[in-house]
Amino acid sequence: MTVTQSPFDQRLGPVVFDAVQLRVRDRLAGEALDAVLTDNPEDVAYLTGFFHHPGERPVAVWLDTAGETVLLVPELEREHAAEQGSRAELVSFAEYPGIVPPFAALAERVGASGAGRRIGFTTSMSYQRLAAVRAQFPHDEFVPTELVTIARYIKLPEEIALHAEAARITDLMLAAGASLVTEAIASEGVLPSESELASHVTRTGVSAMYSEHVNVVVVSPLAGGLVYAGANSAFPHGLPSGYRLAPGDTLMLSLGCAVGGRFVEGERTFVLGEPSTEQRRYHEAVRLAQEVGGSAIAPGVECRTANDTCLQVIRDAGLGQHLRHRQGHGIGLGMHEPPWLESGDPTLLEAGMIVSNEPGIYIPGHAGYRISDSMLVTSGGSRPLTSFPRALEDCIIPL
Amino acid sequence: MTVTQSPFDQRLGPVVFDAVQLRVRDRLAGEALDAVLTDNPEDVAYLTGFFHHPGERPVAVWLDTAGETVLLVPELEREHAAEQGSRAELVSFAEYPGIVPPFAALAERVGASGAGRRIGFTTSMSYQRLAAVRAQFPHDEFVPTELVTIARYIKLPEEIALHAEAARITDLMLAAGASLVTEAIASEGVLPSESELASHVTRTGVSAMYSEHVNVVVVSPLAGGLVYAGANSAFPHGLPSGYRLAPGDTLMLSLGCAVGGRFVEGERTFVLGEPSTEQRRYHEAVRLAQEVGGSAIAPGVECRTANDTCLQVIRDAGLGQHLRHRQGHGIGLGMHEPPWLESGDPTLLEAGMIVSNEPGIYIPGHAGYRISDSMLVTSGGSRPLTSFPRALEDCIIPL
């Protein structure tokens, strides 16, 4: 008998959005708010399941204590929002900027003449858009709130399942990248360039999703990452170039993908051939910092403490001058989202958060070294969602 | 004798940034401003030549009447900004959120204790970031301004040259897309899918740049677009799927690219095989609207008038119920930027502006039809930068 595995469904069901909306609605009272309004595209996807590319035409969610959840979209996006099964009442406006301003349609639906409601707005809203909103709600008070942002910190079980699947595919992508180099060496062929490697791992991730999943949620990027070798890897935010790998290079694969719009990162640093003393020293310092940093990620720990514990390992190794960034950041619907594993963030870690653990060092003219996993904070500590091996011995690509 | 053509250089020289900064500085007095501050990534690229992916770490330009132009970047981006030859004094902050807030570094450089300067800020700045800025400049007054946005309306000659080159490559991409289908038919092979066509035209555009240009400015996307066929094309913002083209389909290639960070769009609607009466009617209505709309784009004309003139052609053809969007939008460092060719925008068109002219109709269950060119407003009217033929007879792919 053949057991057919059913494909992985990327789209969350209405029950999840109901739970999310309940969670947010429950928090309104705590801030004495009658409603919350957000135009943050990740918030919109979180609250309703509607994914879109933000632009000048506003898309926003209104959620109030009376139980209303309204999604404002341009007419252009109405069919798109309906097709995605967006869990909200759809209200649309004709066009931007419009003879009638876009937010007038929302005001008409939820009542513009309310007697002094207190409406929270997301602080990522632009000055311009906030002004456009206020103009349509002249009798209400608008106050900044991080309510939805903070609600997103603790992932629901259904979200964690999406992240876990994204991690599985990220591991496949890391393995595919390493294999492409190994096979080129084995066949004594030309080594791949950074951009060829980048295309290959992207294709690997996207193909896996389209062949094994249904209802693929298309976000940008769906799968991909940064690939850089040799001296190029010393630029933490470099872009894959035409540079072709060479024996002795340090190679960084900084990959990731999104399943159901939920991101995961997985980053490993490889060496082509027998590592030099210098490469061993740098790699080991980062690996140890990542291990110690990972152990520091646990419920009740402040983000800044985890960061300081992690980066101290690199300073203790005498490599502090090569640090360019913090330990990590929250990850979810955003590739980068709060809380921040950085010295300035006192947020307490809690079970259900997902944060990146990605210490790195960058030595100008030589190379960069970074190892990253997306870590799920658990009741007892934390665990990496990605599992590709981290030790140098496992990341040597023999010549 | 062989004449070797020198490669096209995508990077603008310092003299262009000096001209841009002078233009903006000259406008400060008109609004009684002592300085302007913008964190809009396109403004940053416009003023200094520094291109970056925006994130939680602020990147911002300060430009004042005293002649200072300061670029605030995270330490992580300092080498990147220097490598790009950014035309500004670089000031950096350690990390985000930081023990010392990022904007403290800027305040220290330009003086936080100024006696009540009037500082204009771009209105695309988020509430959150504006609050972070104000906290570091407690003695200054902050006022919203569209000054940089409006300075960007009129393209410099050096920018127009970049747009013209982007248009040439967009034409190549349209031709490559049509050829891929033609060749599949000629070889009696399998017709390409939407996503195969999308990959093919992207590769065509990117390859042309890397082989013919130097100093390629990497923005996202560098080249690409939407490709949709048959009923899928009825969704104006659909994404290329695995759908494989079929005889009789309407095919929309909505392509574009950026040269030196300056975007151009070129969109054509094709039919596979002899068009039906219905396809002829829809295509011709859009083509005529685009022609009439293009003639309406001229200096001294209000954006809303051009829009209304253009869309009226479709309404007169009895197809007004299939409209989903305006005539077009400004295009430059932004793929979409003001002014808007829409009923709500009274901005007067001026020579040197570039706007899209892209009327479209969408018939659910059947197909969509859209034809677009990026139009340069000239002293006497306007002209399309892209030149791929628009008439249906030239857009039939014979079976």
Q: What is the CATH number of the domain that holds B383?
A: 3.90.230.10
In a domain, A79, yes or no: yes
- Identify the residue whose tokens are 């695995």: B242
If you ran DSSP here, which 8-state letter would residue B321 be given?
G
Q: How far is B190 from chain A (nearest CA, A)?
A: 20
If you ran DSSP here, which 8-state letter would residue B233 be given?
G
Q: Which of A124, A131, A218 sits opposite B239 (nearest CB)?
A: A218
Interface ipTM above 0.90: yes
User: Both B166 and B128 in a single domain?
Assistant: no
Give the relative orientation of helices A277-296 and A303-316 as an angle to the nearest 10 degrees: 160
Cβ separation B125–A123 shorter than 8 A: no
Q: How far apart, in Å, are the Cα atoms of B351 and each of A248, B151, B156, B204, B358?
A: 55, 13, 11, 32, 19
pLDDT recorded at residue A85: 92
**How far is C-alpha A334 from the chain's CA centre?**
4
Cβ separation B123–A124 shorter than 8 A: no
Strands B60-64 and B35-38, bridge-based pairing: antiparallel
If 0-12 CB within 10 Å is exposed, 13-18 middle and 19+ buried, where does residue A7 land? exposed
Question: Residues for chain A: how many in total?
Answer: 399
Number of helices and strands (H, E) in chain B?
10, 19
Cβ separation A128–B123 shorter than 8 A: yes
In a domain, A3, yes or no: no
SS3 call for B235? coil
* CATH assignment at residue A33: 3.40.350.10
Domain boundary among A135, A151, A167: A151
Domain boundary among A131, A151, A171: A151
Cβ separation A124–B121 shorter than 8 A: no
Cβ separation B340–A56 shorter than 8 A: yes
Q: How far apart, in Å, are the Cα atoms of B21 and each of A256, B67, B152?
A: 39, 9, 11
User: Both B118 and B228 in a single domain?
Assistant: no
B111: amino acid identity, one letter: G
Cβ separation B98–A343 shorter than 8 A: yes
Structure tokens at B11: 């990077």
Structure tokens at B209: 């740049």
Best probe of the A interface among B237, B241, B254, B327, by most A CBs < 10 A, is: B237
Half-sphere exposure of A94 (CA within 13 A, CB side): 13
Note down pLDDT in tens along chain A; length 399 residues: 455 678 999 999 999 999 999 999 999 999 999 999 999 999 999 999 999 999 999 999 999 999 999 999 999 999 889 988 999 999 999 999 999 999 999 999 998 666 799 999 999 999 999 999 999 999 999 999 999 999 999 999 999 999 999 999 999 999 999 999 999 999 988 999 998 999 899 999 999 998 999 999 989 889 999 999 999 999 876 667 789 999 999 999 999 999 999 999 999 999 999 999 999 999 999 999 999 999 999 999 999 999 999 999 999 999 999 999 999 999 999 999 999 999 999 999 999 999 999 999 999 999 999 999 999 999 999 999 999 999 999 999 999
Q: How far is A49 from chain B (nearest CA, A)?
A: 17
User: Both B224 and B243 in a single domain?
Assistant: yes
Cβ separation B99–A344 shorter than 8 A: yes
In a domain, A243, yes or no: yes
Chain A positions touching B242 (Cβ under 8 A) are: 210
Listing DSSP states for A279-330 in one string gives HHHHHHHHHHHHHHHHHH--TT-BHHHHHHHHHHHHHHTT-GGG--S-SEEE
Report the domain count for chain A.
2
User: Both B131 and B172 in a single domain?
Assistant: no
If you ran DSSP here, which 8-state letter would residue B221 be given?
S
* Alpha-carbon gap, residue A251 to A31, rounded angstroms: 49
* Alpha-carbon gap, residue A317 to A332, rounded angstroms: 32
User: Both A57 and A85 in a single domain?
Assistant: yes
Q: How far apart, in Å, are the Cα atoms of A192 and each of A10, A204, B199?
A: 32, 16, 20
In a domain, B51, yes or no: yes
* Alpha-carbon gap, residue B396 to B15, rounded angstroms: 46
Cα dihedral A205, A208, A213, A216 sign: positive
Chain A positions touching B130 (Cβ under 8 A) are: 127
**How far is C-alpha A205 from the chain's CA centre?**
16
- Please check whether residue B382 is in contact with residue B376, taking contact to mean a CB–CB distance below 8 angstroms: yes
The nearest alpha carbon in chain A to B77 belongs to A237
* Alpha-carbon gap, residue A86 to B237, rounded angstroms: 16
What is the phi-psi region of residue B342: left when phi exceeds 0, alpha when psi lies from -120 to 50, beta otherwise? beta
Q: How far is B231 from chain A (nearest CA, A)?
A: 13
Chain B positions touching A329 (Cβ under 8 A) are: 56
User: Both A86 and A170 in a single domain?
Assistant: no
Cβ separation A56–B238 shorter than 8 A: no
pLDDT recorded at residue B1: 47
* Closest listed residue to residue A46, CA positions, set A156, A210, A125, A143: A156
User: Both B64 and B122 in a single domain?
Assistant: yes
φ/ψ of residue A348, rounded to 5: -85, 130
User: Both B147 and B161 in a single domain?
Assistant: no
- Scanning A113-247, the segments in alpha helix (DSSP H) are 127-136, 147-151, 157-186, 194-212
- How many C-beta atoms surround the C-beta of residue A374 within 10 A? 28
Domain boundary among A151, A170, A195: A151
* Alpha-carbon gap, residue B72 to B90, rounded angstroms: 6
Give the relative orientation of helices A102-110 and A127-136 as an angle to the nearest 10 degrees: 50
Cβ separation A79–B364 shorter than 8 A: yes
Cβ separation A324–B75 shorter than 8 A: yes
User: Both A138 and A97 in a single domain?
Assistant: yes
Query: A108 Cβ partners below 8 Å, 6+ apart?
Result: none
Q: Which of B97, B127, B325 sits opposite A76 (nearest CB)?
A: B325
Q: How far is B316 from chain A (nearest CA, A)?
A: 19
Q: How far is A15 from chain B (nearest CA, A)?
A: 26
Cβ separation A55–B95 shorter than 8 A: no
* Alpha-carbon gap, residue A213 to A162, rounded angstroms: 11
In a domain, B315, yes or no: yes
pTM, entire model: 0.95
Work out the angle at residue A45's Cα, subtended by the Cα atoms of residues A118 and A371, and round it to the nearest 5 degrees. Answer: 115
In a domain, A313, yes or no: yes
Beta bridge partners of B250: B271
Q: For residue A350, what are the domain limits?
A: 157-397
- Identify the residue whose tokens are 């784009």: B297
Query: A230 Cβ partners below 8 Å, 6+ apart?
Result: A243, A245, A246, A249, A250, A367
Q: Which of A123, A239, A364 sits opposite B127 (nearest CB)?
A: A123
Listing DSSP states for B384-396 in one string gives ES--S--SGGGGE
Chain A positions touching B200 (Cβ under 8 A) are: none
Cβ separation B237–A345 shorter than 8 A: no
User: Both A25 and A164 in a single domain?
Assistant: no
- How many C-beta atoms surround the C-beta of residue B162 within 10 A? 26
Buried b / exposed e over A71-82, threshold 16 CB at 10 Å, is: bbbbbbbbbbbe
- Identify the residue whose tokens are 């939805």: A148
Question: Residues for chain B: how many in total?
Answer: 399
Listing DSSP states for A13-80 in one string gives PHHHHHHHHHHHHHHHGGGT-SEEEE--HHHHHHHH-------SS--EEEEETTS-EEEEEEHHHHHH
Chain B positions touching A344 (Cβ under 8 A) are: 95-99, 101
Q: Which of A83, A127, A238 sits opposite B130 (nearest CB)?
A: A127
User: Both B188 and B206 in a single domain?
Assistant: yes
User: Both B137 and B189 in a single domain?
Assistant: no
In a domain, B22, yes or no: yes
Q: What is the mean pLDDT of each run of 10 residues along chain B (399 residues)?
A: 75 97 96 97 98 95 96 94 94 97 97 83 98 96 97 98 98 98 93 92 93 92 92 80 92 97 98 98 98 98 98 98 97 98 98 98 96 98 98 97
If you ran DSSP here, which 8-state letter would residue B236 be given?
T
In a domain, B2, yes or no: no
Cβ separation A56–B336 shorter than 8 A: yes
Beta bridge partners of A337: A330
Q: How far is B222 from chain A (nearest CA, A)?
A: 13
Cβ separation A336–B56 shorter than 8 A: yes
